Amino acid sequence: MRKGIGVSPGVVVGVVHRVESVLGSLEQEALEDPGQVPAEVERFDQAVAESASELETFVQKVSQELGDNAAEIFKGHLQILNDPALLSKVHELIETKHLTALAALQAVMQSYAAQFARIEQDFFRERMSDVRDVILRIGSHLTRKPAGPHDAAGDCRNGEESVILVAHEILPSQAMSLGELPIAGIVTEVGGSTSHAAILARSRGIPAVSGVDGVMADVGNGDLMIVDGRDGMVILRPDQEATAAYRKVQREFFDIKDRLVANRDLPALSADGTRVELLANINNLADAQASQTVGATGVGLFRTEYLFLTHLDVPGEEEQYEYYRRIILNSPNQTVTIRTLDLGGDKTVPYLGRRSEPNPFMGWRSTRIFFENAKLFITQIRAILRASRHGRVSILFPMITTLEELLHVNTLVKETRDNLRREGVAFGADVKTGVMVEVPAAAICIDAILRETDFISIGSNDLIQYLVAADRDNPKVAHLCEPLNPAIFRLLHTVLSACQRTGTPVTLCGEMAGQPRSVLVLFGMGLRRFSMSPAFIPTIKALLASVTTAQAERYAHHVLQLNTSEEIRSYLTARLHEVSSTLEMLDRA
């Protein structure tokens, strides 16, 4: 039995499938016949040539879109790709050891990794990331599939057992490529409740646990595992009694979820008739379509960075326009709030280069990147404005810290609108712009921010992380990123009160919006717009139908008087049990 962080509620019993790299394992490393050597060398050289052609295209495109400096990383990758030492090492292993090209390539990567690990200077150690990128690119051409995680679940698509994905970490780009796999549970060694593994799990409504240290060393493909995402419990190779007990809980969990989906066509109303808007957080087209099926009334947060993370080069204006257009047309009521690029932190793309930062979450990220890459920002704004003709679209700016930043962004948007008009390019006439409040400085100075924006969206994930000064993906301190923290509720109360005074529309789009106990308090504070992973919408709709406005207001008033997270958790757990004991299973412990 292992304890981690419950990041997506529910229970599943299934078989383990480990996430491996695109290069796979070394188990099938030798050629069956030495006579295959010349053909294998030729196959490797062809993969190198295809990689070179791809990189040359990227250099040209990125130079056009972002300038020559942004293309430097791809130029560097071309130099690594054409390094005679790398190529000769792979040739030698194929010719003398009779390895497959893939196995030889992996052996060379391991050799380089060992050499770079011995170098003390960070600059040189970080160059290993570039070497790995190049080798993975060659490997992707050898295997004829995009660079990304190995389809570890591919061999069990027709099996009866649920698939539990086990990984050290799931990166943003990997989360997107894993999106179509038949995964019923996720366990990772690192990450917290707002990691990409957690977001992936919640968007699909599957149980997940993060922060299970050392689990990769203890499990193999095919092992039976129990995942309890409510209290962060993982049981490896359970006995018959535990397996039977948890299968029963799993059936109850899915029965409840199936029953709740029936409310999708009902309006979101409290028990006394107060109307609430339940919106969806989405990453891609599939999420937009899924939000239609669960009763969302629109998209409250479209994370555009996932389009960029799944591209090896920068998407141009036409490509972005077409993608945003399809998202809008496939979203509930064709109503979408589009967040501009939120890159940086743990979400990086090669064409913006790599920067070594002691604390990247507090560094060069999100809207801050645009101040050095205005062309990138303007291209995205142009594409969004053009796509806004196809629905009701708002633009949301993340990571705004100061009023000066907001004024600068507003000026860039106005100039972009003016340029489109001069060019005779059609775009939506009534596109609102808003600020994502996720930095404490913006929350504290909310009155000044409200005077310069059309709406507010509270990003509770980062707001909590910054308020408690703890990295939400670090298992050592992730427990501090606790939504049921008195400081969080007091700051949220300040922001909500300011919005109510000025009549400014406000949405909460962080993970708190899908957590029943948090929603009881937020609704009591006057919040009427919640945006969440689509899978949680039926649960929150059922919760609100079970509570009156007056009840929720009493809960909120009482919570604001409490001084510890444990007091708040205990109080709200009791209230949730009173309101709807059935929904307790769908909230984290």
| φ and ψ at residue 389, rounded to 5 degrees | -65, -20
Q: Is 557 noted as a catalytic residue in this protein?
A: no
Q: Check: CB of residue 381 under 8 Å from CB of residue 416.
A: yes
Q: Check: CB of residue 6 under 8 Å from CB of residue 232.
A: yes
For the chain, helix, strand, coil in percent to 5 are 55, 15, 30
Beta-carbon-side half-sphere exposure of residue 481 (alpha carbons within 13 Å): 28
Q: Tell me which DSSP letter residue 344 carries.
A: B
Classify each residue of 129-141 as buried b or exposed e, where b means 16 or more C-beta atoms within 10 Å of its C-beta.
ebbbbbbbbbbbb
Is the dihedral angle over the CA atoms 277, 282, 287, 288 positive or is it negative?
A: positive
E strands present in 443-543: 455-458, 506-508, 529-532
Q: What 3-state DSSP class applies to 12?
A: strand
Q: Is 196 noted as a catalytic residue in this protein?
A: yes
Q: How far apart are CA 170 and CA 114, in angstroms?
A: 23
Beta-carbon-side half-sphere exposure of residue 210 (alpha carbons within 13 Å): 26
Burial class (CB within 10 angstroms; exposed 0-12, middle 13-18, buried 19+) of 1: exposed
Q: Check: CB of residue 524 under 8 Å from CB of residue 557.
A: yes
Q: Which two tokens stand for residue 27?
A: 């188990």
Is the dihedral angle over the CA atoms 423, 428, 430, 434 positive or is it negative?
A: negative
Cα 358–chain centre separation: 22
| φ and ψ at residue 146, rounded to 5 degrees | -60, 145
- The catalytically annotated residue of 156, 481, 499, 509 is 509
Q: What 3-state DSSP class applies to 157?
A: coil
CA distances from 356 to 181, 402, 579 (A): 33, 24, 49
Q: What angle is formed at CA 207 by the lines to CA 201 and CA 210, rounded to 5 degrees?
A: 75
| φ and ψ at residue 402, rounded to 5 degrees | -125, 160
- The catalytically annotated residue of 17, 196, 481, 493 is 196
Q: Which amino acid is located at 226 in the chain?
A: I
Beta-bridge partners for 529: 277
DSSP alpha helix (H) spans, 330-394: 367-370, 374-387
Q: Which two tokens stand for residue 186?
A: 């996720």
Q: Which two tokens stand for residue 244?
A: 């039977």
Q: Which two tokens stand for residue 175?
A: 């989360």
Active site residues: 196, 509
